[in-house]
Structure 1
Amino acid sequence: MEEPILQLKNLSVSFDTKNGEVEAVRDVSLTLKKGEILAIVGESGCGKTVMSQAVLKLLPKTSKIKQGRIIVDGEDITDYKEKEMRKLRGSVMSMVFQDPMTTLNPTIPIGKQITEAIVKHNKVSKEEAKKRGIEMLNLVGINRQEEMFSLQPHFFSGGMRQRCVLAIALASNPQILFADEATTALDVTVQAKILDLLLDIRNKTGISIIFISHDLGVVARIADRVAVMYAGKIVEIGTAEDIFYNPRHPYVWGLMSALPALTKAGDSLATIPGTPPIMLNPPPGDAFAIRNRYALAIDYEEMPPMYEVSPTHYVATWLMDEKAPKIKPPISLKRMEKE
């Protein structure tokens, strides 16, 4: 099998605060294949962004990698210092941040913000960098590229700014793109265009994408595989079909049940009771147990292992144990489609 472009092995990341240590990412292991779109989903604060920024070493000094390894294209970068990471950012890995309104410098023309990364990583002339910058604007679907190249961000709409941010991220042909809530601040129509653009760019360039989102509807449209995070841990991972048509973790059942598109007319929108735990002092056992109507006694005592549902599908819940009672999932897209 082809070696993954990115591997996280038992990665744990924490923050030192005045109130104690916050365990933001806990024992996360996953792989990203070349040309794959892997979606990371979960509630706000579950560790999605911290995990991705830990790979890029963009976290503040109060953070630390407690354990685990980060392997990019076969190379272990866990202990890389800032000087070494600067060579990787942009050229090997790049990131699209959540809000295009604050990502771009409002005083600098778009073209200069794109070519800055090109000159830095490729050591080309300004003329060649400009040519490449115009090509990038064309790639992300900006019309009248030469005219727009010299304009400041306030001349662009929100969707166009997000396209420009994407152009900057792709300017040096990275192998891995982290898209952190890249469509959250956009209206539905523009959101769909950005998703189609990401798919088109993946098909044209073969880039691997980690798509971070809390919107399952968006994830269903773009992802090849999906990893669901809760309280800093991956609780279920599989192909998009595995997660949407055969979810096995009660947290994923709750997320699916809360989808407005799957709620019948006249019915109340389902919710997950309670709130996520405070990670200053994570609860013993399964962190979701206190919110889980199907929780077993062991959920409050021991962390569940990852059970194999199929060669592509894994889930961390004691309900998969052979001694556990058999519970029929309360949500099924297949059932709802038939209805």
Structure 2
Amino acid sequence: MQPVLQLENLSVSFDTPNGEVEAVRDVSLSLNKGEILAVVGESGCGKTVLCQSIMKLLPKTAKIKQGRIIVDGNDITDNKEKQMRSLRGSVLSMVFQDPMTTLNPTIPIGKQITESILKHNKFNREQAKKRALEMLDSVGIDNPNQRYSLQPHFFSGGMRQRCILAIALASNPKVLFADEATTALDVTVQAKILDLLLDIRNKTGISIVFITHDLGVVARIADRVAVMYAGKIVEIGTAEEIFYDPRHPYVWGLMSALPSLAREGENLNSIPGTPPVMVDPPKGDAFAVRNEFALAIDYEEMPPMFQISPTHSAATWLLDERAPRITPPILLQRRTVS
């Protein structure tokens, strides 16, 4: 089965007064129809830039240095803005973190959805309004006929995020990028939005790339997980493989910092140091200076992706056959806690 989205050795950088910032470095991944892929990592690791580079929503200072972006079998790497406008909404769609900066505060919600539908479909205005009402109902907005004419400030945060979803899904796109789509919501509303995304995926077969810091969200929604650090994917696998058999020390650190593993009265675990400045990427493994298990080669040579299983790979020299065998601290923690 052909992936609906495929990235081949994608690298994206920004020109700044201080030099070239390497935001995404040699990323390769695929997304299948109906699959939910979570992209996780610390702030600044390249998650949002990765998705915005596919949507071609980056500023003029950004450039794709190498690689290919293939959507539904078509190479869109060199697509111009006019070509991308026909793809955004109808093939690729994106939900951003803050709905109030996405929605126009002066225009009724219904009209914003209707305009999106008219842009990408051969509907008249009456048909577009009917479709907009259907979308409001499908994302769980009660009394859509009454709320169609209301501006965004009449809606709660969770309802506004549902409205954004209605706009994003109105033209039946094949891929949805959700960039921290639940971060600003309280826990109960967050759970409802996640359940809604799962329900929409099950009904429509849409593929979703979900960007988040929250590993709890990942465990709830993801089929596969890609962990990014310093612009690179350092580990990728099924959700079960990442949570129960992590192999990269960075992923060990992320998992060890989960509040569920903390002991009462003790501080939460954390990863020492900060991510590198990507104007001058470090030689070798970018995580080496923060990695207590780093080997000498980590400071000299960037590790390749070692394949652990057909679905699981990690970029760490600890997987090399010559490396010492180390028991992940996350496993020791789990044994102690349980």
Aligned to 1:23: 22
Aligned to 2:161: 162
Deviation, structure 1 residue 208: 0.1
Aligned to 2:323: 324
User: CA offsets per residue over residues 62-84 of structure 1, 9 Å max, x none?
Assistant: 00000000000000000000011
SS at match of 1:237: strand
1:309 aligns with 2:308: yes
Aligned to 2:116: 117
Q: Give, in whole Å, the separation in 2 of the partners of 1:152 and 1:280.
A: 42
Q: Give, in whole Å, the separation in 1 of the partners of 2:247 and 2:154.
A: 47
Deviation, structure 1 residue 336: 4.6
User: CA offsets per residue over residues 267-312 of structure 1, 9 Å max, x none?
Assistant: 2200100000000000000000000000000000000000011111
User: CA offsets per residue over residues 140-192 of structure 1, 9 Å max, x none?
Assistant: 00000100111000100000000000000001000000000000010111000
User: What TM-score do the two structures reach when normalised by structure 2?
Assistant: 0.98
Deviation, structure 1 residue 335: 4.0
Aligned to 1:5: 4
User: CA offsets per residue over residues 189-221 of structure 1, 9 Å max, x none?
Assistant: 100000000000000100000000011111110
Q: Give, in whole Å, the separation in 1 of the partners of 2:274 and 2:14.
A: 21
Deviation, structure 1 residue 265: 1.9
Q: Give, in whole Å, the separation in 2 of the partners of 1:141 and 1:334.
A: 40
Aligned to 1:187: 186
1:33 aligns with 2:18: no
User: Which amino acid in structure 1 is aligned with residue 147 of structure 2?
Assistant: M
User: CA offsets per residue over residues 54-110 of structure 1, 9 Å max, x none?
Assistant: 000000000000000000000000000001100100000000001112111100000
Aligned to 2:244: 245
Q: 1:334 to 1:289 in 2, by over 3 A?
A: closer
Question: Pairwise mapping of residues 119-158 of structure 1 onto structure 2 (< 5 A)?
Answer: 119-158=118-157
Q: Give, in whole Å, the separation in 1 of the partners of 2:290 and 2:27.
A: 22
User: Which amino acid in structure 2 is aligned with residue 4 of structure 1?
Assistant: P
Moved more, 203-212 or 325-334: 325-334
Unmatched segments (≥5 aa) in structure 2? none
Q: Give, in whole Å, the separation in 1 of the partners of 2:238 and 2:185.
A: 26
Deviation, structure 1 residue 337: 9.4
Q: Give, in whole Å, the separation in 1 of the partners of 2:79 and 2:121.
A: 21
Q: Percent identity?
A: 78
Aligned to 1:285: 284
Q: Give, in whole Å, the separation in 2 of the partners of 1:216 and 1:166.
A: 22
Deviation, structure 1 residue 332: 3.0
User: Which amino acid in structure 1 is aligned with residue 29 of structure 2?
Assistant: L
Aligned to 2:48: 49
Q: 1:145 to 1:68 in 2, by over 3 A?
A: same
Moved more, 120-129 or 227-236: 120-129
Deviation, structure 1 residue 37: 0.1
SS at match of 2:220: helix
Give the number of aligned pairs: 338
User: Which amino acid in structure 1 is aligned with residue 174 of structure 2?
Assistant: Q
Q: 1:103 to 1:336 in 2, by over 3 A?
A: farther
Aligned to 1:102: 101
Q: Give, in whole Å, the separation in 1 of the partners of 2:332 and 2:219.
A: 12
1:297 aligns with 2:299: no
8 Å contact kept, 1:27–1:233: yes
Aligned to 1:92: 91
User: CA offsets per residue over residues 2-53 of structure 1, 9 Å max, x none?
Assistant: 0000000000000001111000000000000000000000000000000000
SS at match of 2:329: coil
Q: Give, in whole Å, the separation in 2 of the partners of 1:108 and 1:63.
A: 31
Aligned to 1:172: 171
User: Which amino acid in structure 2 is aligned with residue 278 of structure 1?
Assistant: V
User: What TM-score do the two structures reach when normalised by structure 1?
Assistant: 0.98
User: Which amino acid in structure 2 is aligned with residue 269 of structure 1?
Assistant: L
Unmatched segments (≥5 aa) in structure 1? none
